[in-house]
Amino acid sequence: MRVIDLALKDLCQILRDRKAALFLVIMPLTFTFFFGMVSGGFGRAEDPRLPVGLVEHDQGSILSTGLENLLKASDTVRPVLLEKDKADEADELVRTEKLAGAVIVPAGFSEQVLRGQAVGLTFIANGDTSAGKMAGRGVQAAVSRLLGAVETARLSAETLEGKAAFESDAARQAYVEEALGLANEAWLKPPITTTTEKARGTLRGREDGTNDGLLQASPGMIVQFAVFGLVTSAMVFVVERKSKTLQRLLTTPISRAGIIAGHVLAMFTVAFLQIMLLVIVGQFVFGVDYLREPLAILLMAAALALWAAALGLLIGAVSKAEDQVVTWSLIAMFVFAAMGGAWFPLEVTGRAFATVGHFMPTAWAMDGLQNIVLRGLDFGSVLMPAAILTGYAAAFFALALWRFRFE
């Protein structure tokens, strides 16, 4: 109970300090907003696919509509609809590289293809550029799927016709068009898909198209300010040592271990509440999906807060004045944040830097948080990062006790 009373005393003392709101709330939110904005976290990400103009002289027909839908579903190109009377502008748009290519669907395209007649599409592109070549491959893939669907519908009709004749040509045509529609739908929604995901690597976007710089910025600022937020709680510890309050506490029934435990509990509480505040803001303001795995985030928050409390105790043990607390906190923040990947993904720095970076506890904190919000992994993915953070906390705690003195 005395330990809790001492922790509550520290918390009340921290809350009375006006600088606490700056270090614990205002600065973390400001930096999260700034880094997220710089990395493109606010606003829509542009469609990375190559723009291809589409002029439909056979607009509304089943094949013209099918081609448009297949182009929209393409991973390589995206259709840009052009007016029929502006078809002559397509060549100019391609020449000036405003479009990677252009497709012109002739009038009667659907009817002629369904009758088995040879008909050609006009594709305009600059074949000397990589964009033109890629656009050509993307369009060719869509056309091949469309013609494959036509062939599938035709074979289906012939098979059925061999068993029972259609009542009329109109009935056969209706059957072919229905089969064609089903075949095109099957191309758009295949029953089996393959997805390649990298455990670590380039940030991937959310389904709403928002650029996900915040998936780096939000966890990064949580980790960074879990360190810098110790300025307030470690300062209380140093002031009590300097004013001889700790020595006077030894005259009370509380033990030396209890005194240290009370201060560590206060540091843990401050760090944990700050982390959870930034998680809530990240979830509901910045749209970072921390609550997809709430128990995993809770475990990571507890492990990170425990390590931060141990670091705070160490800073309090080695600092003899208030300015030293600020100095050591800044040094710890810059070293651990930069080397641990809080400012930028370690994956982009190369294998050597990433290996060295993972000697930092902050790198494991980032791994645990981003396993949930970035990589879409489950609760089990945070067990090792949380365990390693706890191990670092034990090591820092032991080092702090070794350096600590009740002068």
269 with 179, same domain? no
134 with 274, same domain? no
Q: How far apart are the first and last CA of the chain?
A: 25
Residue 324: both structure tokens together: 């030293």
| CA atoms of 307 and 223, how far apart (whole Å) | 11
In a domain, 202, yes or no: no
Burial of 159 (0-12, 13-18, 19+ CB in 10 A): exposed
Our CA dihedral for 281, 287, 293, 296, rounded to 10 degrees, sits at -50
Nearest to 143 by CA among 67, 80, 81: 67
169 with 311, same domain? no
145 with 247, same domain? no
Residue 137: both structure tokens together: 């491959």
According to DSSP, residue 98 is labeled S
354 within 8 A of 347, measured Cβ to Cβ:
yes
Torsion angles phi and psi, residue 284, rounded to 5: -100, -15
Alpha carbon 150 to its chain's center: 40
85 with 13, same domain? no
In a domain, 271, yes or no: yes
Q: What is the pLDDT of residue 277?
A: 86
Residue 169: both structure tokens together: 């040509």
Overall number of domains in the chain: 2
In a domain, 204, yes or no: no
Half-sphere exposure of 349 (CA within 13 A, CB side): 16
In a domain, 209, yes or no: no
In a domain, 205, yes or no: no
| CA atoms of 264 and 3, how far apart (whole Å) | 10
Coil/strand/helix, residue 44: strand
| CA atoms of 368 and 300, how far apart (whole Å) | 7
156 with 232, same domain? no
19 with 162, same domain? no
In a domain, 287, yes or no: yes
In a domain, 259, yes or no: yes
Q: Which residues contact 134 (CB under 8 A, 6 or more apart)?
A: 50, 76, 77, 100
Our CA dihedral for 229, 231, 232, 234, rounded to 10 degrees, sits at 120
Query: How high is the mean pLDDT in each 10-residue block of the chain (407 residues)?
Result: 66 64 68 64 59 84 81 85 76 83 85 76 80 85 81 70 61 68 62 47 42 74 78 66 67 69 79 87 83 92 89 77 76 83 77 83 90 86 93 87 65
Q: What is the pLDDT of residue 138?
A: 87
86 with 18, same domain? no
Distances 42 to 25, 29, 132, 292, 407 between C-alpha atoms, Å = 21, 14, 31, 21, 52
233 with 338, same domain? yes
107 with 221, same domain? no
183 with 297, same domain? no
In a domain, 62, yes or no: yes
Torsion angles phi and psi, residue 125, rounded to 5: -160, 160
Residue 76 sits in which domain range? 50-188
Q: Which residues contact 296 (CB under 8 A, 6 or more apart)?
A: 368, 371, 372, 378, 379, 381, 382
**Element holding 125 (H helix, E strand):** strand 122-125
137 with 255, same domain? no
